[in-house]
Amino acid sequence: MLRGATIVAGVVFVMALVGILSRPLGALAPVWPANAVLVGLLVRRPRLVTPLAWLAAFVAYAAADLVTGSEPGLALLLAFANVVGVTVAYLSFRRLPAKHRRLEEPRSLAYLFLVSGAAALAASLVGSLAGPVYLAAPWHRMVRLWFVAEFVNYTVLLSVVLTAPTVRPGAWRERRASEAPGMARWYPLLAVVAATVLGMLLDGYGAIAVPVPALLWCAIRYRFFPTALVTAGYSMAMLTLLSQRASEGGTSIASLALGLLAVVGAPLTLNLVQRQNAELMQRLSRAVNHDALTGVLSRRALGQRFQEALARCRAEGASAAALVLDLDRFKTVNDRYGHAVGDEVLVRFARAVSEPLRSEDLLGRLGGEEFVALLPGLEHEEAVAVAERIRGTVERLRMPIDGHEVACTVSIGVATATADGLPEDWRELVQAADQAMYEAKESGRNRVASVALWPAAPSPSELDTV
């Protein structure tokens, strides 16, 4: 508990000092990362949320103001206002589903705006009391300035803190490997920097929109966290500049800051929409190409995947093997235990068959209890050894399902072809393995039968419709 409170106090104190250094408007800082960072920390690490941590945060807020020369009364009031805003944001986020706390959907941004607005309003109503008492500023002006600054800071910075990846060994190398090679990965970022500098050199309200095309480019090319990080950097730079140019009444800074928020909301929304569409396409592709029950390749996907794998083997001068696997006396399982148990047996059987296979191997379901696998690059003896491992694994498998311990065996047919004898049609190789599987059945089941092919190749028959 003490360690957690110390972490909270340290984070708040450092972030508050960063914000205080950006104060060109007297008591209000246009860039105030302390609140958003604290909310994100508490939401992502709920174990830190203790009464002592809340007290530590309050003390850290006040200490940052005191060491930079604020009056004690003003420091305490501002600290209390910040804690009120953080409390509203934290409690609001805890009521949201985890997917929205992680900003995984476009709708999550709407919740982020609502939570940020509520927290900013609560803090501004409390903190604005400092205006008439300590700053000789009208209450309504303080409410407007505080609300806008907090709203922008919460929205922009929380999008970064809530989606920051967890640091783990090797993660950086994996992310770099998935990005565009060379300098290409940096082009969108460099475009944002150049556009931001140009916007700073221009006068007028339209300056904040100059980097929009570059920000949209980031949204298309990067993941959500880098996109949020870039937009946050742009927002903080522009918010600091706008605060320096603001009129004394504060109307300009309020309207421009809200306009800035609308600008940065576009790339964040685009990124989430793009990611959601990609996930939907992946799910659709899986539904079309994979068996709904077992998760292996579906019958309609076998042809294209197997044909492509054989073409690669021919191009690389590699051999290939096909395995046809059929559960023995599976009808008895359905008759004795019911089809629900039979379906579960198929699921566990497919899982057991997948374990000995390599990542480049293909496994699909022909129908019923019959499965087929293609093993690129394996010679005849190697393929037979894999089949024997699968047969032994299935033979030892005991499946407790609905109060029954179900056991089963499998008959496997293996057909292999060398690089110079690979058939043009994948169905020829599978047909040969299918015939070998029937030989295993006729030999007593729970066996592996194999054939090394070519040039003596059977013609496709019943698999023509696959």
* CA 330 vs CA 259, 406, 410, 441, 456: distances in Å: 66, 11, 10, 13, 32
pTM: 0.68
Contacts 24+ apart (CB under 8 A), 396-403: 397/348, 397/349, 397/352, 399/344, 399/345, 399/348, 401/337, 401/341, 401/344, 401/345, 402/337, 402/340, 402/341, 402/344
pLDDT at 259: 81
Total Cβ atoms within 10 A of residue 409: 14
pLDDT at 185: 85
What pLDDT, on a 0 to 100 scale, did the predictor assign at position 462?
43
The predicted structure's pLDDT at residue 464: 43
> Cα 403 vs. chain centroid, distance in angstroms?
38
pLDDT at residue 180, as a whole number: 52
**What are the helix and strand counts (H, E) for the chain?**
18, 7
Domain with CATH 3.30.70.270 in the chain: 299-465
Counting Cα atoms < 13 Å in the Cβ hemisphere of 131 gives 18
pLDDT of residue 419: 84
The pLDDT, as a whole number, for residue 136 is 64
Which CATH superfamily does the domain covering 299-465 fall into? Answer: Reverse transcriptase/Diguanylate cyclase domain (3.30.70.270)
At residue 245, the pLDDT reads: 63
Instruction: In whole angstroms, give the CA distance from residue 181 to residue 190.
Output: 15
What pLDDT score does 457 carry? 41
The residue from 179, 369, 382, 428 that is catalytic is 369
User: Has 369 been annotated as catalytic?
Assistant: yes
Question: What is the three-class DSSP state of 319?
Answer: coil
Residue with tokens 């800051």: 257
Closest CA to 261 of 234, 229, 223: 234
Calculated CA dihedral for residues 326, 331, 333, 339, nearest 10 degrees:
110
Given a cut of 70, the residues of the chain with pLDDT beneath it are 23-28, 133-137, 167-182, 203-205, 244-254, 454-466
Stretch (H or E) spanning 96: none
